[in-house]
Amino acid sequence: MSDYITVIFEPAGAKVQVSVGTNLYEAGQQAGVEIAGSCGGYGICGECQVILMEGEVSELTSQERKLLDPALIEEGVRLACQTELLGDAVVRVPSVQEVVVRKALTAESVRSVQLAPNVQRYDLELAEPSLEDQRSDFRRLAEAITERASSLTATVECLGSLATALRAEDQQIAVTAVGSELVDVRPASMRSPALGVAVDIGTSTVAVYLVDLETGEHLVTAAGQNPQTKFGADVISRIQYANSHDDGLTALRDTIVAAINRFIGQAVTEVGAAPIDVYEATIVGNTCMHHIFLGLEPRYLAQSPYVPVTAEAVSVSADRLGLQMNPWGNVFCLPCIAGFVGADTVGVIVASELTRRDRPMLAVDIGTNGEIALWSGERLLTASCAAGPAFEGAQIHHGMRAGPGAIDEVFVSGDDLAVHTIDDQPARGICGSGLFDATAVLLELGLIDAKGHIADGQSCGTLSATMAERVEGEANERHVVLAGAERAAGGPIVFTQRDVREIQLAKSAIRASTEMLLEIVGLKPDDLDEVLIAGAFGNFINPASALRIGLLPDVPEGRIAGIGNAAGAGAILTLVSGHERDYARQVVETAEHIELFRSSDFQDRFAEYMMFP
Amino acid sequence: MSDYITVIFEPAGAKVQVSVGTNLYEAGQQAGVEIAGSCGGYGICGECQVILMEGEVSELTSQERKLLDPALIEEGVRLACQTELLGDAVVRVPSVQEVVVRKALTAESVRSVQLAPNVQRYDLELAEPSLEDQRSDFRRLAEAITERASSLTATVECLGSLATALRAEDQQIAVTAVGSELVDVRPASMRSPALGVAVDIGTSTVAVYLVDLETGEHLVTAAGQNPQTKFGADVISRIQYANSHDDGLTALRDTIVAAINRFIGQAVTEVGAAPIDVYEATIVGNTCMHHIFLGLEPRYLAQSPYVPVTAEAVSVSADRLGLQMNPWGNVFCLPCIAGFVGADTVGVIVASELTRRDRPMLAVDIGTNGEIALWSGERLLTASCAAGPAFEGAQIHHGMRAGPGAIDEVFVSGDDLAVHTIDDQPARGICGSGLFDATAVLLELGLIDAKGHIADGQSCGTLSATMAERVEGEANERHVVLAGAERAAGGPIVFTQRDVREIQLAKSAIRASTEMLLEIVGLKPDDLDEVLIAGAFGNFINPASALRIGLLPDVPEGRIAGIGNAAGAGAILTLVSGHERDYARQVVETAEHIELFRSSDFQDRFAEYMMFP
């Protein structure tokens, strides 16, 4: 009898053989199946929920009883890291894809540009060589492509297949060039698509946008959690991981490369192509993600004076990075601006054409780290601030990411509070846009005062009784029930005094930074033509709420626009257009990065904007 | 008891375990020991001579009795391919190095040029980063090297070690750039040499010249037989091997790459350096060697219209070719001119500065294939002709390469013929320069007539009796004894009627080609300022003999100069100077290649020059 048991992970159908006693999280990793999780398998984060369909596993642990509500347990939900396999099993992994599809870039959010990719496809029929025309195969080919034939080169592998390819179908061939280098030549009948991928490496999620480089069409998106999450939820903890483990950087790098490879594989499979058809990748991400992806020491990003190893655009052959695409394809990493203003911000600026505008504009990317880019009409200023992970649902009592069951809207309905949840599922927590709304609504109701104290419901004379009853607890332990047991999946979802403090810290950091930048260029908020909110949940934020809590400078609500994953859009634009790639380089040359925290003015401003308007 | 036996190959000391019955040639291959051989292990060429020092092996075969003279057999010489191992053994492999050292480039034969290599070393101390100066590590470095910092790039591996290297010794570093790409950065105290290799891939021999790229000094040469010889002695048989075997091209390529790696290893070891210190290689070789080295299909070189896959200069990263040097180092393959006028000829032209001369000049590279370059003062014409391997000693009854015991000079001494042998060893055969001399001397003596017939010694009235007795045999079986049994190692060395025919064919091909080129540009032989003889044995040829047999156009003897391995010298020049590299490219753009064999005039000329003057 074998000691090995077979586990099948649905819906992927991934099958793996493991030894008895392996936990489901490890088994998932071995099967190449992505299971959420950010605590490293200690049963703390409660994110690695899977559903046991069939099979024998270990008993529920005390951690599971604590973190999973009884309804979930009844449905067969287990925490993968707590569940040991005792026999063959079939397990369903809730799709994180659902989350991503909501966040993912829609084709419309990418402005249209003239197609001018770095990858070119040529369909040619060459003249037969003869004693009158003894030009080499390569020269014959290069001269058919351009009059400036001497500007072209070819990989040795391409040269290696050239003679045979030319003679297979009477000199009819399909040729692919990456930049000025020919990387593929094959008989015409073996022509395949020329694809590219724009890759957005977010701290939490990774998105791969597959693009047809001959048409510029965005074909499909494959995305999911950034599996580096298992090494730490934010960039600082990942840098610490790299610093404190032998080969820590390698482990982080291998993890993200494997994830990107998986998404590339999913995307090309969906369109019936192969990874080798992908000839170029453009990469955006914050400076830490950028450094880890390239294998660059991230340690000094987190130490004063916060210098990156490089901030230049980097072009490197795919095989050098281990990306599973055409090995001679090019990987173009957009440039960064500073240690905490990365290629993602450059992508946002490219996507929004910030510095091509006549009038002042502000772009704010809200995440654990807030990045702010201000265009005065003449100068481009950038700054970063540690907003903390509150807006992404972390460190919030019932915070969660924007997935099914997340409260994403909070509003007054009649004489009571009401909430909307993603996919109309029973409420499981609050995501960023819900936190904004909740704070704004409670401020309007007088349940939160300017200093951020949650008032005693009974002492707020203007409240309905229903509303007042939502306030529970005393003083610093007070909270507001957003969704009672009847609406929630695992007990009431509450918004706590501590949550308000986190919101205050986060919004104040962003607001103080913005105001400082405006002052430096001598502008007032009202001079801003537009305020763009980038980032995954930018599109879902209620501008009125953002203004009400004082996150944004005081502009008319109509000037605020969510622009979604603009960093990803920037990656797509630089994938399909060399001009946009030049623009990205120019943005970085133009940018003046301001280290705000050094200024005592900033500290004063930060304290001031802790208050709600 | 094990079926495996141990064989040690001296002087390398290489040890290998093989099964009983393995022959010594195979065992040598497994041990990575180079044993000469060009027949593929059939006991035909007699080149794989080794000396059995200890151990039990199979009996002498009939082939060995035929090919080895008794004196050698007494010394323990065996043919490796014919000798099966029956027990542990120690075998000595005669060094082919001896041959090569004679042929190898001397430092003096390389003209001096201003040092301008593609590899640059920078010793720098950078300014510490600060909050006032947050430039990235890379930008800080690039700006310390050049004002045009944006023209520099770096490999991701170099960027990967940059942050740590900078901070190890207070920003004091040694940096190596290949072209505009930084490939290595390390703390100043870990500085190591910046070396380069010029590689001459000859059909028969391979030479690796190690050069210090900081001083331009030629440090050491490592060289030996081209082990592709085992697949065939000449380029045509190697192309046939590639065509008729699965992975034949790969086998040929792997063989030459392994040989170059071995020579690089030997050379760097000799100067106490490591392969990783070698940052650039320049490569010369005929078009077939060039194609095989790069893994390019050689098939069409040998088929009309004889087009190469590429004739352009090729630059490629060392790791892409499997060369054991710095993996990010550059390999620069000099350009070729045509299918049978390769990068070796370009090297000869660069070394001799042919096209920089004011006056007409001719350069002739004599080998199995003759390459001819004529500079008219305005036009550069090239041609190739199949001279046959006669001048290299093949297809000559007692022909051999220029190794110990080869007759390299033949002259009249008193009333008899006399010979000189290399290293004053007992005569074992005749090499190229000896064949020239023998033919010239016999022509002078009237023993060979204008049509190439060897006369009956007795009927030549003017001959001494001693001399006349050297002629033996009748009509087409006649031969002249060059070294009698008393001077020879394995019986008399003779020069046969058939040998004279081979010489006639070879010299006629070269002479007819040369005359045709002169006619095309409207020059007479006497217009030539100089006639350069390139090639391994160029330095050893007696110009008077070359003129006497009609190999060269009719110029005063003083205008003929041997320039040795000028192809190798060209490789060294392009290694140490980018200007010479540009010159090589310019040579190829200038060259007009003429396919002589197409012209009926050539056929007439060929017939005409079969006659001796």
Across B107-121, B220-234, B349-363, least confident range: B107-121
Show residues of chain A in contact with B308, CB under 8 Å.
136-137
State the pLDDT confidence band at B31, using cuts at 50, 70 and 90.
confident
CA dist A575 and A580 (Å) reads 8
pLDDT at residue B612 in the model: 95
State the pLDDT confidence band at A552, using cuts at 50, 70 and 90.
very high
pLDDT at residue B599 in the model: 82
Q: Is the pLDDT of residue A123 over 70?
A: yes
Assess A253–B contact: CB distance below 8 Å, yes or no: no
pLDDT at residue A381 in the model: 97
Reported as a single tens digit per residue, the pLDDT across B159-185 is: 999 999 999 999 999 999 999 999 999
State the pLDDT confidence band at A550, using cuts at 50, 70 and 90.
very high
CA angle B249, B251, B253 (to 5 degrees): 65
How far is the CA of B299 from the CAs of A426, B243, B345, in angstroms?
Answer: 71, 7, 21
Reported as a single tens digit per residue, the pLDDT across A588-597 is: 999 999 998 7
- Say whether B139 and A311 touch across the interface (CB within 8 A): yes
Mutate which: B141, B143, B161, B310, vs A, most A CBs within 10 A = B310
Neighbours of B198 (CB within 10 A): 31
Closest approach of B573 to chain A, Cα-based (Å): 23
Show residues of chain A in contact with B130, CB under 8 Å.
305
Show residues of chain A in contact with B315, CB under 8 Å.
153
Among the listed residues B232, B225, B227, B228, the one whose alpha carbon sits nearest the alpha carbon of residue B207: B225
pLDDT at residue A1 in the model: 44
Q: Taking CA atoms, what residue in A is nearest to B320?
A: A156
CA dist B46 and B410 (Å) reads 25
Contact A347, A566 (CB under 8 A): yes
Indicate if the alpha-carbon torsion angle A424, A426, A428, A433 is positive or negative.
positive
Which of the pair, A50 or B387, is modelled with greater confidence? A50
Neighbours of B523 (CB within 10 A): 17
Residue B62 burial (10 A CB sphere; 0-12, 13-18, 19+): exposed
Domains with residue ranges and CATH for chain B:
4-94 (3.10.20.30), 119-190 (3.10.20.880), 391-502 (no CATH)
- Say whether A305 and B156 touch across the interface (CB within 8 A): no
| Structure tokens, A503 | 């919101």
State the pLDDT confidence band at A108, using cuts at 50, 70 and 90.
very low
Reported as a single tens digit per residue, the pLDDT across A110-119 is: 677 889 999 9
Tell me which residues of chain A, numbers 2 to 61, contact chain B at a CB-CB cutoff of 8 Å. Answer: none
Q: Taking CA atoms, what residue in A is nearest to B313?
A: A153
CA dist B328 and B344 (Å) reads 25
Residue A92 burial (10 A CB sphere; 0-12, 13-18, 19+): middle
Stretch B246-262: mean pLDDT: 95
Assess B160–A contact: CB distance below 8 Å, yes or no: yes
Residue B473 burial (10 A CB sphere; 0-12, 13-18, 19+): middle
CA dist A576 and A579 (Å) reads 9
CA angle A219, A224, A229 (to 5 degrees): 150
How far is the CA of B131 from the CAs of A58, B134, B461, in angstroms?
Answer: 55, 6, 101
- Say whether B295 and A160 touch across the interface (CB within 8 A): yes
Mean pLDDT of chain A: 89
Report the SS3 class of residue A45: coil
DSSP 8-state secondary structure symbol assigned to residue B130: B
Q: Is the pLDDT of residue A598 over 50?
A: yes
Assess B338–A contact: CB distance below 8 Å, yes or no: yes
Assess B582–A contact: CB distance below 8 Å, yes or no: no
Among the listed residues A250, A212, A214, A207, the one whose alpha carbon sits nearest the alpha carbon of residue A231: A250
Tokens 């990469």 appear where?
A283
Mutate which: A157, A239, A306, A312, vs B, most B CBs within 10 A = A312
Assess A328–B contact: CB distance below 8 Å, yes or no: no
pTM of the model: 0.81
Stretch B490-499: mean pLDDT: 91
Tell me which residues of chain A, numbers 271 to 310, contact chain B at a CB-CB cutoff of 8 Å. Answer: 294-297, 299-300, 304-310
pLDDT at residue B457 in the model: 77
Q: Taking CA atoms, what residue in B is nearest to A150?
A: B312
Stretch B516-542: mean pLDDT: 88
Show residues of chain B in contact with A160, CB under 8 Å.
294-297, 309
- Say whether B156 and A130 touch across the interface (CB within 8 A): no
State the pLDDT confidence band at A370, using cuts at 50, 70 and 90.
confident
B262: left (phi over 0), alpha (psi -120 to 50) or beta: alpha
**Starting at the edge strand that comes first in sequence, how are the strands of the sheet with A369-375 ordered?**
A560-564, A530-534, A361-365, A369-375, A380-386, A592-593
- Say whether A595 and B316 touch across the interface (CB within 8 A): no
Q: How far is CA B139 from the centre of its chain?
A: 44
- Say whether A138 and B312 touch across the interface (CB within 8 A): yes
CA dist A542 and A533 (Å) reads 11
Indicate if the alpha-carbon torsion angle A29, A33, A37, A41 is positive or negative.
negative
Across A467-471, B188-192, B257-261, B485-489, least confident range: B485-489
Mutate which: B134, B288, B303, vs A, most A CBs within 10 A = B134
- Say whether B136 and A306 touch across the interface (CB within 8 A): no
Report the SS3 class of residue B303: coil
CA angle B156, B160, B164 (to 5 degrees): 155
In A76-182, which ranges are continuous DSSP H helix? 97-103, 137-145, 156-168
Reported as a single tens digit per residue, the pLDDT across A402-426 is: 777 889 999 999 899 999 998 888 8
- Say whether B163 and A300 touch across the interface (CB within 8 A): yes
**Beta-bridge mates of residue A185:** A175
pLDDT at residue A45 in the model: 67
% of residues, chain B, pLDDT over 90: 63
CA dist B612 and B608 (Å) reads 9
Q: Is the pLDDT of residue B513 over 90?
A: yes
- Say whether A156 and B311 touch across the interface (CB within 8 A): no
Q: Is the pLDDT of residue B535 over 60?
A: yes
Reported as a single tens digit per residue, the pLDDT across B543-601 is: 999 999 999 999 999 999 888 888 999 999 999 999 999 999 999 999 999 998 778 88
List all residues 6 or more positions away from A522 whose beta carbon is below 8 Å from its beta carbon.
none
CA dist A385 and A601 (Å) reads 14
Contact A296, B159 (CB under 8 A): yes
Q: Is the pLDDT of residue A38 over 70?
A: no
B212: left (phi over 0), alpha (psi -120 to 50) or beta: beta
CA dist A229 and A192 (Å) reads 36
pLDDT at residue B96 in the model: 45
CA dist A487 and A470 (Å) reads 14
Closest approach of B295 to chain A, Cα-based (Å): 6
Neighbours of B7 (CB within 10 A): 24
Reported as a single tens digit per residue, the pLDDT across A182-227 is: 999 999 999 999 999 999 999 888 999 999 999 988 898 888 888 8
Reported as a single tens digit per residue, the pLDDT across B49-103 is: 888 888 999 999 888 887 777 767 877 889 998 999 999 999 888 754 333 333 3
- Say whether B320 and A153 touch across the interface (CB within 8 A): no
% of residues, chain A, pLDDT over 70: 94
CA dist B256 and B268 (Å) reads 18
Contact B294, B286 (CB under 8 A): no
Tell me which residues of chain B, numbers 417 to 436, contact chain A at a CB-CB cutoff of 8 Å. Answer: none
Q: Is the pLDDT of residue B12 over 90?
A: no
- Say whether A307 and B136 touch across the interface (CB within 8 A): yes
Q: HSE of A109 in the Cβ direction (CA atoms, 13 Å)?
A: 26
**Beta-bridge mates of residue B417:** B412
Assess B253–A contact: CB distance below 8 Å, yes or no: no
Show residues of chain B in contact with A312, CB under 8 Å.
136, 138-139, 150, 153
Tell me which residues of chain A, numbers 167 to 226, contact chain B at a CB-CB cutoff of 8 Å. Answer: 167
Assess A127–B contact: CB distance below 8 Å, yes or no: no
- Say whether A135 and B164 touch across the interface (CB within 8 A): no
Which of the pair, B281 or A538, is modelled with greater confidence? B281
State the pLDDT confidence band at A97, using cuts at 50, 70 and 90.
very low
pLDDT at residue A382 in the model: 97
Q: Taking CA atoms, what residue in B is nearest to A593?
A: B134
Which of the pair, A600 or B609, is modelled with greater confidence? B609
Reported as a single tens digit per residue, the pLDDT across A266-275 is: 999 989 999 9
Q: Is the pLDDT of residue B290 over 90?
A: yes
CA dist B604 and B613 (Å) reads 16
- Say whether A305 and B595 touch across the interface (CB within 8 A): no
List all residues 6 or more positions away from B590 whose beta carbon is below 8 Å from its beta carbon.
B355, B380
Which of B136, B153, B311 is the closest to A311 by Cβ?
B136
Show residues of chain B in contact with A300, CB under 8 Å.
137, 163, 167
Q: Taking CA atoms, what residue in A is nearest to B253?
A: A160
Q: How far is CA B341 from the centre of its chain?
A: 15
B427: left (phi over 0), alpha (psi -120 to 50) or beta: beta
Reported as a single tens digit per residue, the pLDDT across A481-507 is: 999 888 887 789 999 999 999 999 999
- H helix or E strand, kind and range, residue B290: helix B287-294
Residue A167 burial (10 A CB sphere; 0-12, 13-18, 19+): middle
Q: Taking CA atoms, what residue in A is nearest to B150?
A: A312
Report the SS3 class of residue A592: strand
Among the listed residues A193, A227, A225, the one whose alpha carbon sits nearest the alpha carbon of residue A212: A193
pLDDT at residue A143 in the model: 96
Show residues of chain B in contact with A307, CB under 8 Å.
129, 134-137, 140
Across A144-148, A207-211, B49-53, B386-390, least confident range: B386-390
Amino acid, single-letter form, for residue B45: C
This complex has an ipTM of 0.81
Reported as a single tens digit per residue, the pLDDT across A513-526 is: 999 999 999 999 99
Which of the pair, B486 or A591, is modelled with greater confidence? A591
Q: Taking CA atoms, what residue in A is nearest to B308?
A: A136
Show residues of chain B in contact with A301, CB under 8 Å.
none
Q: HSE of B66 in the Cβ direction (CA atoms, 13 Å)?
A: 8
Mean pLDDT of chain B: 89
